[in-house]
Structure 1
Amino acid sequence: MNLFRLFSILTALLCTQVASAEKSSPQIIADIVYQKGQASAYAAERCKLDLYLPAVQKDFPTLVWLHGGGLTSGSKDSEKQVALARHFAEEGVAVAMVNYRLSPKATYPAYIEDSSAAFAWVKKNIQEHGGDAGRVFLGGHSAGAYLALMVSLDAHYLEAQGLTPDAICGLIPISGQTLTHYTVRIERGQPKERLMADEASPLFHVCKEAPPMLILYADKDMEMRVEENALLASALRAAGHEKTTTSMIKGRTHSSVAHDMANAGDVGFAEVMGFIQAVKAE
């Protein structure tokens, strides 16, 4: 083997190693304050997001992600949220991992307003970080999915940010509550088990103008969650929404349907990536 050939092979191997390192190491910008002038120290503490940016790409899509936790717990800094964000960024989709205020320190609709403000910040600023402002998606798991649905379906939240729901390229709720959230019911002094679908419910606001939507849930999801998501999809279609896709992920629970998206080869992750690419192509 001549020296030139050897040099070429070594150079190719080095480039492959560099590319692999870049893929596994997204750029992270932590603790961005997404709304100014918070009314309390608690709001100033919680209303922050982390950006996970693909290492070597430009004009990438971005997923604004809202963690679960029943509106009473959860953090963008948890191990599972960080792993999920890294996986998406490694595959070319930026993630804005969002913290929002939690009950009971904050009550309805504060956490929806925070989620809307976080989305608006990303929409207005992601281009400065290399992203495509026309391809900003909104998603979340469980309580985070509830928040994402409320932001996208009740237009007044984004209107308060100077945006309309069509600013959302696509919506990705995973195992979300589509009735009035049980934490909101508790805040009102009502039994957790009392089912409602009023103005604090995504079902109350279904419309044909909603963004394209991928509704995911697990075959072993928590009680009623499969039925709630199926009802949302049915209600959207009945309202004339033509871009609703649903998928029940087999072999998953309420938690693992989202958390396993951090794993290579996960079916749910592939569904989300396919959805993002499909909306991109339109």
Structure 2
Amino acid sequence: MSKKLILSLCFLLSTIAVITAQSSIGSNYTLKENISYISNSEKDTYKLERCKLDIYYPVDKKNFSTVIWFHGGGLEGGEKGIPDELKNKGIAVVAVNYRLSPRAKNPAYIEDAAESVAWVFNNIASFGGNPDDIYIAGHSAGGYLALMVGLDKSYLNKYNIDANRIKGLIPISGQTNTHYTIKKERGLPFEIPYIDNYAPLTHARKDVPPTLLVTGDRRLELPARYEENAHLDAILRTLGNKEITLYELQGFDHGAVYAPGCYLIIDWIKKYSNSKE
């Protein structure tokens, strides 16, 4: 039996165990919805409509870790929501909405993602969270946004936040080339890879935060999605990064990898968190 198959089986078994155990875990959490993360002086009606977040956090714990979660949908659809797999784990989860193409054009959605991250850094302490223990994650398009905000430091620099303060980057099946919707906006072909300033690969650097790259089975994934992540993994390692991990989850396609990827997020936080119970 291959190591990859064993890994996939272990994830399935651990997922079942976690779901079973959740029934006995307390539910001392609260959810605050539709909090605006943009300036009070903003006049753009679409930005006022979309740039909101939900925060799910423990009410009987302090100094907790926080995951900022960007939803998928190809940068053209999708809605914020707290993944069930991240609930009741002693952490906060911040689910973010952002402007969508074609009503908004690149780099609007990346800028929104960065502004939401800045909001969390500046406000999570008021909810009891540790501002030095923030992780950025997302699935598909959300994984792409997580990588762009974490790798291209210019977006958070606008808010006087060093992207190296991010405790970890955890994209699930995110693109590392220029996103296909950005290519669509420019009239470029879907099938041909393109790498410019809007590709996370372009901004690979030696001092990136610890990074966990998760994809589904390369035979079942979106075209070249595993290979794009393997490319980023190779580049980051070549630059000297040692805290980089790449998982290809055998048997899971692009959509199905979402759930086991979330359980990997929890394990990653346990490894790197400096928050105390």
Partner secondary structure for residue 65 of structure 1: strand
TM-score, structure 2 length as denominator?
0.86
* CA distance, structure 2, for counterparts of residue 210 and residue 152 of structure 1: 8
Rg comparison, structure with higher value: 1
Q: How many residues align?
A: 251
**RMSD (CA atoms):** 1.8
Assess, with a 3 A threshold, how the Cα gap between structure 1 residues 45 and 184 changes in structure 2: closer, same or farther: same
Give me the whole-angstrom Cα distance separating, in 2, the residues matched to 1:140 and 1:156: 20
What is aligned with 2:154? Answer: 156
Task: Give the SS at the match of 1:237.
Answer: helix
Structure 2 counterpart of 1:49: 53
User: Which residue of 1 is the match for residue 267 of structure 2?
Assistant: 274
> Residues 201-280 of structure 1: matches in 2 within 5 Å?
201-219=199-217, 220-258=220-258, 260=259, 267-280=260-273
CA distances 1:3-41 after superposition (whole Å, capped 9, x unpaired): xxxxxxxxxxxxxxxx97873362001011001133411
Show the counterpart of 2:72.
68
1:256 is paired with a residue of what secondary structure?
A: coil
Aligned to 1:27: 30
Name which of 70, 76, 94 aligns with 2:92. Answer: 94
- Name the aligned partner's letter for residue 58 of structure 2: P
Q: Which gives a bigger RCO, structure 1 or 2 (Cα 8 Å, sep 6+)?
A: 2
**Shift in Å, 1:183:** 0.6
Contact 1:22-1:55 at 8 Å conserved across structures: no
Q: Offset at 1:269?
A: 3.3
Runs of 4+ with >4 A deviation: 19-22
SS at match of 2:272: helix
**1:32-78 deviations in whole A, cap 9, x for unaligned?**
100113341111000000000124322110000000000000001xx
Deviation per CA, 1:229-248, whole angstroms, max 9, x where unpaired? 11111111111112111112
Give the AA of the match of 1:254: H
CA contact under 8 A between 1:54 and 1:89: conserved in structure 2?
A: no
User: What one-letter code is carried by the residue in structure 2 that aligns with 1:193?
Assistant: E
SS of residue matched to 2:175: coil
What percentage of residue pairs aligned between the two structures are identical?
Answer: 42
Whose helix fraction is larger, Structure 1's or Structure 2's? 1
Gaps (5+ residues) in structure 1? 1-18, 261-266
Deviation, 1:96, is 0.4
Matches of 1:222 and 1:146 in 2, distance apart? 14
Q: How does 1:52-131 map to 2 (within 5 A)?
A: 52-76=56-80, 81-82=81-82, 84=83, 86-131=84-129
How far 1:223 sits from its partner (Å)? 1.8
Q: Which residue, out of 154, 159, 165, partners 1:167?
A: 165
What is the identity, as a one-letter code, of the residue corresponding to 2:109? Y
- Asked whether the 8 Å contact 2:176–2:200 carries over to 1, the reply is yes
Q: Secondary structure at the match of 1:269?
A: helix
Within 1, Cα distance between the matches of 2:247 and 2:56? 26
Contact kept, 8 Å, 1:180 with 1:202, in 2: the verdict is yes
8 Å contact from structure 2 (residues 85, 262) kept in 1:
no
Q: Which amino acid aligns with 1:210?
A: V
| SS of residue matched to 2:106 | coil
Q: Distance in 2 between matches of 1:41 and 1:48?
A: 13
Question: What residue ranges of structure 2 are gaps of 5+ in the alignment?
Answer: 1-21
SS across alignment from 1:209? coil
Q: After TM superposition, give the deviation of residue 95 of structure 1 in Å.
A: 0.4
TM-score by length of 1: 0.84
